[in-house]
Amino acid sequence: MSIKNLISNQIIIIDDHKRGTGEIKDFDNPKNDVHIDKETNYPIGGRRQKLKIRIPINSDKPIKIENRKKQIDIPGQLKREIKKAFEDRKTREGFIFDILKTLENFKSSLDSEEKVLSIISRLARHFDLNWDENIITKYS
């Protein structure tokens, strides 16, 4: 399911790669890799490259970025764009709201305040946001 774009003209989805299998979308099952999924053409080293970005939201796995099946570090420019987007209150709140709304489709993902806190904390860590407990609690 698509969620609000964080960066202009970018489509982002939440996925577990089990769409259409008839399985229950179980957020608590560690075998279900629930993540934000993004494909984009992004300039690296002066040329555009197709990147696949996977940001885990039900585990503490690191962000995974691949170009041509090779894992790479997050490009500095992309990281700066994401941080800048999160500085805009309206963009940030829309993005978080859409993530939480999409997660309602997963069994048990939002059945406790503790789980919501962990999702938002995990996203803040993934994007190197210096959010204190008050900010995380506010979004929860």
Three-state DSSP string of the chain? CEECCCCCCCCEEEECCCCCCCCCCECCCCCCCCEEEEEEEEEECCEEEEEEEEEECCCCCCCEEEECCEEECCCHHHHHHHHHHHHCHHHHHHHHHHHHHHHCCCECCCCCHHHHHHHHHHHHHHCCCCCCHHHHHHHC
How does pLDDT run across 106-131, given as a tens digit for each residue? Answer: 766 667 778 778 888 888 888 777 78
Q: What percent of the chain has pLDDT over 90?
A: 0
For the chain, list residues with pLDDT below 50. 1-3
Q: What is the mean pLDDT of the chain?
A: 76
pLDDT value for 58 = 83
- Provide the whole-model pTM: 0.72
